[in-house]
Amino acid sequence: MACFEWINNDLLTGLLSEQHGTSFKRLIAYDVSFATKKGDNYASEMYRVSVQYDIGNIVKKRIILKVMPSGELQQKVMEENSIYSREIVIYSQIMPRIYELLRSIGDVSIISPLCLTTANTPKQMLVFEDVSEQSFKMMDRRLGLDLDHARLVIVKLAKLHACSRIVYEAEPTLFDLMMEGCISDDPKKQTFLPYYRRCVGQVMRLVQQWNKDGRWNSILGKLDKLQDKIIPYGCDVYHRRDDCFNVLNHNDIWVNNMMFQFEPGTGVKDVLLLDYQLSFYGSPGIDLNFLLYGSLQPEVRKLHLMELVQLYHTTLRGTLEQLHYGGTIPSLPDIHVEIIRKGFHRVNAVFQQMPVAMMERSEDADMDLILGEGERSETCRRELFDNPRYVSILPALLHEFDLAGYFD
């Protein structure tokens, strides 16, 4: 039985008063439900609240409460990475500046849902408009993005990156919490990192099952060594070079952090990017590798990857030019160099993110169990990696990564 007692009249009255000020008169009625299925948002808990209230006229609407996760290990990871503080800065200070820039060139794009207010008690939370009221909905994370959906995401991502660069150059201190990545050399921020090694172990287990004739011996040997190298390689992804073109990376750009709007009879129309909890200021190659290798349907990645990178660059360059950016705008080859330079992040996407994205029964998911140690956690991870959908695409990706040198 779901426990919503903490979402009560006093809490909602306070949140609505914070949003509307003296216009708010009284809360008339409310109803609470889960906004997502368990396992669909591993870094937060999401609640949908239907409220009816008086601000001089009667308003009926739905809001989303995004709350720090309840799992002990999850909470520790969130606290180590300043998750809550980071996201508040992005939604309350950086995003408004990005929208000012876009509106100045006549671009009415909306990149993310509107954050209405925040609170620290009884839990840390952000309060959002419920964009499902505007017919936005989540896709089936197990299938990945087709080309039409991927194009929309790429365009929004490029606009976020372009505008963030200009905001950073004007007010760099706004990005203080975004200057360190979620894979860190800092010994105080490594609770999550053993999971990376455990995922390599699961991939090795699968490869050993395929290796009846020894064809996988070379890759197996490299994967064995990768267990000790994956964390330093991951840290290198988040090492920033100041002589390169850096941007605000969403840094968790996968299917469940997107909501799509559809036009009847014409298909997908728009996308919003959600959840900036891990956002990082650094190479655009971070987001591009994670998106292109963690969220696309295999045929889309195989046939249209270069097209999507070109679309990204065209949108990035066009946005920067319209905003009269005074710095050096990266060329299309420059973007390809960044993708290659941060290419190990595609290994992270396939080894860590993809098994979670493809899991069949997210309602059974327990992220503390997936991240943890012990036999129950190992059993849970084995089930994730044994997913036939994942197993069917992994061999080709392993060969690609091996040829690219990411296992060396």
The one-letter code for the residue type at 309 is V
pLDDT at res. 123: 86
Nearest 5°: phi and psi at 60? -120, 125
* Angle, CA of 107, 113 and 119, to the nearest 5°: 135
Per-residue pLDDT of the chain (408 residues; tens, 9 = 90+): 356 889 999 999 999 999 999 999 999 999 999 987 665 555 578 999 999 999 999 999 999 999 877 666 556 666 666 788 899 999 999 999 999 999 999 999 999 999 999 888 888 889 999 999 999 999 999 999 999 999 999 999 999 999 999 999 999 999 999 998 877 777 666 666 788 999 999 999 999 999 999 999 999 999 999 999 999 999 999 999 999 999 999 999 999 999 999 988 888 999 999 999 999 999 999 999 999 999 999 999 999 999 999 999 999 999 999 999 999 999 999 999 999 999 999 999 999 999 999 998 655 557 777 777 888 888 889 999 999 999 999 999 999 999 999 999
Q: How far apart are the first and last CA of the chain?
A: 49
pLDDT at 370: 78
Residue 43: per-residue pLDDT? 59
d(CA 226, CA 123): 39
Residue 158 is predicted with a pLDDT of 98
Q: What is the pTM of this model?
A: 0.92
Burial environment of residue 406 by CB neighbours within 10 A (0 to 12, 13 to 18, 19 or more): middle
The dihedral through the CA atoms of 348, 352, 353, 355 has a sign that is: positive
Which DSSP letter does residue 296 get? B
The structural architecture, per CATH, of the domain 72-126+135-404 is: Alpha-Beta Complex (3.90)
Report pLDDT for 70.
Answer: 63
| Lookup result for tokens 């929309």 | 152
Nearest to 350 by CA among 298, 294, 291, 398: 294
- Residue 12 has a pLDDT of 96
The encoded tokens of residue 267 equal: 């298909």
Indicate the SS3 state at residue 54: strand
As a whole number of angstroms, the distance between CA 98 and CA 105 comes to 11
pLDDT at 2: 53
Residue 376: per-residue pLDDT? 86
